[in-house]
Amino acid sequence: MTEIGILENTYNISVQRTVNEVWQSSFSLPKTDPKNSLCSHLNYIEIISPSGRNYGLYRIMPTETIKSTDDDSITYKCEHVLATLMDDVIDDYLQLTGYSTANALQAILNYQDTQRWVLGQVDFNYFFNYSYENENGLLAPLLSIPVPFAEPYEFTFDTTVFPWVLNLIRPSDDVKAEIRWGKDMIEFNKVSDPTEIVNYIIPKGTGEGVNQLTIASVNEGLKYLKDDASIAQWGKRSYIWIDKSYENAQLLKNSAQSLINQWKDPKISFEVGSADLSILPEYAQERKVLNGVTRIIVEDEEYLARIIGEEVGDITKEYEVSYQISNKLDDIATTQADMERKQQVAAAYAQGATNIMNFSYQDNCDNLIPALIPFYIDDDVVNVNTCELTFRTKPFRAYEKAIAGGGATTKTSTDSNIPIIRVNSDISEPYSGDHRHKVTIASDFVLHTHNIVLEDHVHEIEFGIYESDLQAEAVQIWIDGNAYPTTEISGDRIDLVDYLSKDGNGKVTRGRHEILMYPSTLARIEADVILRVFIQSRIGGVY
């Protein structure tokens, strides 16, 4: 970056700085000042006070020309260069699974077309899952990284070097400063607001209806979080918190816990007008620190809270400061809504859709060779809502039969070896004319075979639809190796979810599943398996 000039005639220089938000500033120049030409849109301006304090680097945004009898000036409104992170986008889908805090921040910074920001100090090492889709700007995703943390955090930056350095630090819980009535406190306004107390929260994430993400799977089956001490003191104050950007139950739970930690007590806020004596050398050690814990003493009361914002109305009078002090930061929902309004961030989240998957089967089977019905659940199926089987058992079906043979003759046969029996008789009496004698001869026929040879020939096939007379009396069903308890021969919308294979979290596994059906005899099974699934497509193209 190259310095192109110094603005000597600026006035009404104001600065508003708020923790974890884009800082704002403004200044005016006389309309006749020739250095107005240096103040083009998107040029950078560094604000340094008369005491030498650096209030940060800003980018010139809108300009307002004022002409009246009392004034003839141009006012420039600026935003901190942190807002340059809104110049780039995350196109399509970014999934960060198992990333450390530093790696997740770096993955988002890698989307910069021009590297203005580099990652510096990161005091946290959490491993959460994040997902972003079609993000207009990198700032909102970056600011969302520490949202699930159940402890204070602060984004800080160094804009005195380039590329600029972004840090995510753990602010100290030590008391950094004191504001005391009668010393440096000019005005004091305390507000204790119980209307925002929430001590029973039901968080919900992505999806609709029965497919909407809850924390039950990571919270012992409970869909809510609560704080018993707050309930005992203030009564039960329930709230359904919905943020459809969450696709991970553990991350949703962590964010909800962070919220309930902030909301369980009344919000106490202070607006303090103070004289910042630390610009004087003898009080330099009493400088108030943004996001630092500050002791506030008003008469006989003492409070400890963090400075979450400061406003200097005119840098030339930088000792006149208004502080915003609170026992909690703005709630996440409010911060996100403000962020979208102030930073013009448009977030589009893919929620997915419910689909019906149908698998049909018709074939013969028996008690040895079953009906096999395979089906596949893809990895981008978020939830399996139903898995139902409807089937009928019909008689075994064939589509042809052979014609029986008839009228065949043998061409050759083998001879049999049968012995010849001769009967001899000696006659001693004279001839007495024609007559008969009955002779009984004992004999045995030996068992034997004849070998015959048939000529080559064919039987014609008669085609048709033929059903067996057999009827199955029972059908055994196995789902992913799990036996269904009944053996009926038909069924309508049998719920199979409890029998499908599950992972360690009790969810239906993704991949191949099988249904086996064994009829007690030859039979034909006609079946339909219908699944209702909630799907988010992250793969493939648009064809």
Dump pLDDT digits (tens) for 316-326: 888 888 888 77
Please, are residues 13 and 316 in contact by the beta-carbon 8 Å criterion? yes
Q: Residue 505: its pLDDT value, please?
A: 82
Q: Which tokens go with 255? A: 């964010």
For residue 443, what are the CA distances in angstroms to 421, 422, 440?
9, 12, 10
Helices marked H in 110-248 — which ranges? 139-144, 228-234
Q: Which tokens go with 76? A: 């420039």
What kind and span of H or E run contains 14?
strand 11-18
| pTM for the whole structure | 0.56
Strands (E) in 19-71, as ranges, are: 24-30, 44-48, 54-67
Q: Which tokens go with 259? A: 């919220």
- 305 vs 287: CA distance, rounded Å: 16
Largest CA distance in the chain: 185
Q: Residue 333: its pLDDT value, please?
A: 39
Which segments of the chain have a pLDDT < 50?
330-351, 542
Q: Residue 349: its pLDDT value, please?
A: 34
Residue 504 identity (one-letter amino acid): G
What kind and span of H or E run contains 480?
none
Query: Closest by alpha carbon to 213, among 241, 184, 180?
Result: 241
- 456 vs 62: CA distance, rounded Å: 102
Say whether 354 sits in a helix, a strand or coil: strand
What lies within 8 Å, CB to CB, of 8 at 6+ separation is 35
- 77 vs 433: CA distance, rounded Å: 161
Please, are residues 358 and 529 in contact by the beta-carbon 8 Å criterion? yes
Phi, psi of 238 (to 5 degrees): -95, 155
Q: Strands 511-519 and 475-479: what pairing? A: antiparallel
For residue 467, what are the CA distances in angstroms to 399, 404, 489, 527?
9, 19, 17, 18
Please, are residues 434 and 471 in contact by the beta-carbon 8 Å criterion? no
CB burial string 257-269: b at 16+ within 10 A, e below = bbbbebbbbbbbb
- 74 vs 68: CA distance, rounded Å: 12
Please, are residues 371 and 525 in contact by the beta-carbon 8 Å criterion? yes
Phi, psi of 260 (to 5 degrees): -65, -30
For residue 473, what are the CA distances in angstroms to 469, 487, 490?
13, 9, 10
- 383 vs 424: CA distance, rounded Å: 104
Cα torsion 238, 244, 245, 247 to 10°: value is: 90
When the candidates are 3.30.70, 1.10.287, 2.60.120, 2.40.50, the CATH number that belongs to 353-398+468-535 is 2.60.120
Q: Residue 351: its pLDDT value, please?
A: 45
